[in-house]
Chains A and B, each alone.
Chain A
Amino acid sequence: MIGLTQVARPPAPSAFSNALVFGWRAVLKFKHVPEQLFDLVMTPIMFTLLFTFVFGGALAGSPGNYLQVFLPGILVQTVMFNAVYSGIGLSTDLSKGLFDRFRSLPIWSLAPFAGLMVGDMLRHTIAGGIILTIGLILGYRPEAGIVGVLSAFVMLITVGFGTGWVFIVLGLLVRTPTTVMTIGFTFLFPLIFASNIMVDPKTMPTWLRAFVEVNPVSLMTSAMRGLMGGTATVEQVGIALIAPVTLTVLLAPLTIWIYRRQ
């Protein structure tokens, strides 16, 4: 049996190379399960069409005016929901014992998470691109042009990256993938609806408006609007980045701690 002759270990690869291999895995997943893209973009597409054409006129005078405000927000919503998927994927890998194999390999122990993040960013970029394209077809016009859109996407991926940690921690702790999904959506729905994504908070009761104005989702949405509309200020972007940065700083070490402890 040729495969059973003694095979020696090649020189140990770097931590970065380990992480790239997991990124490659995420790309392969896309190739084999293209349906996941459907899951990712169908809801935001429905939301875009529904809100623009059904509520748009009532909320902003005309569907066209509404789309101009709504599109940057729906991008934020898209990446936040997308982030749930890496938690589901992680929970699935853990429940199937795949991580036992990764863990018993002499590799950088965080490489699998780096791979998840690569997959996430890929998903965010693709889903965001599809939503933006549909927006452009429907008549959305980013006043800040290409540079504005690109900087908005950098912002968007940062938001997705920060949110991703929440679901990685959940995925590590919860062993049933569907529970991760349920917890994720239960937590995200109020955050997303009680924000300025869909409706101007002016008409909301004072107590709710107080929440909406400090809701990180609103802050991120305002920054996205600013970047794509060419009106962003440093302060606006800075305040929007507080949530993703805080989540990363707190949850990345927590992820490592939980993973090493298990």
Chain B
Amino acid sequence: MATAEMNSSPSAVQARGLVKKFGDLCAVDGIDLDVPRGMIFAILGPNGAGKTTLMRMLATLLRPDGGSATVMGHDLQAAPGEVRASIAMTGQFASLDEDLTGRENLMLLARLWGFRGKSARERADQLLATFDLSEAATKQVKDYSGGMRRRLDIAASLIVTPGVLFLDEPTTGLDPVARKSVWSMIRQLAGSGVTILLTTQYMDEADQLAGRIAVIDHGKKIAEGSPRELKVATGSGFLHVAVADPNQLEEAARLLEARLGATVQRSAEGGTLAVVARTPKDANAALGALIDAGIELADFSMGSPSLEEVFFALTGKAKP
């Protein structure tokens, strides 16, 4: 518990009515947030929803136009210095010096944190080893791959163990392998007791990592809960139907809507329909109606909605 202040606030982050305006645009429009300590908390939303603005305010990089917040018990406006000392932030774009080597980047930050002489280098080498970058220690960052940069960028946030780590879209632009390795790193970090607040526009990322998700759209929080709660709130079961003949898709959608009384969502590729079915019996009856109408089904399944479908149900918009 070296860095965690022993104070009364049970939340790592507590925000009340945070507002940020850019001219006429209200980027963040009165958001409340309670992030319990030690949790991975995801802020999920499409591009331009206000996720990054919210995070930058909590990291003291932007001054809120309204509302208040505490981070690790420190007030954002009254004690920004204390907030900075208890957080770390990894922005959307690798905030590294491309001309310097990986080790020099970490040593630079270690020295700024107050590690002196040899201890700065030792801390840099420890982190390089942890993040599997030892072999690239003396390479300039401009020669790093996207995944390596991301790892170094996160390592740079961990020179001193932060109370809260802010990760702004930690896997945007990474290939699937690099993405999985960043995910496993985030889980291990959370396991070591660091509270993690991350933004993402990927449903599966929030689903995979987060203990709790706040869904944000147009600067407002439109839902919050565990991934399970969000799915349950949207409808207990989703019927997914793949139609063999694309020409019959519209007719199938009409029949499903009539039978189940709910809006049918079309997949991005257009071949699959998804709709809330309250009970398996309802689903069965709807499938029967399709077959009776002579519509050939390539595939069907009954299951929990994906977060993508949750988002659609909450915002009435196609996936972000």
Chain A residues at the B interface, C-beta cutoff of 8 Å: 1-13, 17-18, 21, 24-25, 28-29, 32-33, 93, 96-107, 111
Contact = CB atoms under 8 A, between A and B. Distances in A.
Nearest to B119: A10
A104 B123 contact: no
Interface residues of B, number: 51
Contact of B112 (A4, A11, A21, A96): A21
Given A3-B130, A8-B161, A106-B81, A96 B192 contact: no
B23 interface: no
9 contacts: A3-B129, A3-B155, A4-B192, A6-B1, A8-B2, A8-B160, A10-B160, A32-B100, A97-B91
Interface in B127-147: 127, 129-131, 140
Contact of A100 (B91, B111, B113, B119): B91
Given A10-B113, A98-B95, A101-B91, A4 B188 contact: yes
Interface string B156-178: 10111100000000000000000
B223 interface: no
Interface string B101-117: 10010001101111110
Contacts of A93: 97
A4 B113 contact: no
Nearest to B81: A106
B112 A18 contact: yes
B46 interface: no
A96 B95 contact: yes
A104 B100 CA distance: 20
B123 A7 contact: yes
B84 A100 contact: no
B192 A5 contact: yes
A3 B158 contact: yes
A29 B99 contact: yes
Given A97-B93, A100-B91, 7 more contacts: A4-B189, A6-B3, A7-B3, A9-B3, A97-B92, A100-B95, A101-B156
B59 interface: yes
A13 B159 CA distance: 15
A19 to B, nearest CB: 10
A151 to B, nearest CB: 34
B123 A21 contact: no
A8 B159 CA distance: 9
B256 to A, nearest CB: 47
B126 A3 contact: yes
Contacts of B1: 6
A6 B91 contact: no
Interface in B222-262: none
B154 to A, nearest CB: 11
Nearest to B1: A6
Contacts of A111: 112
A27 to B, nearest CB: 11
Most chain B beta carbons < 10 A, residue from A12, A102, A103: A103
A10 B94 contact: no
Interface in B48-91: 56, 59-61, 81, 84-85, 87-89, 91
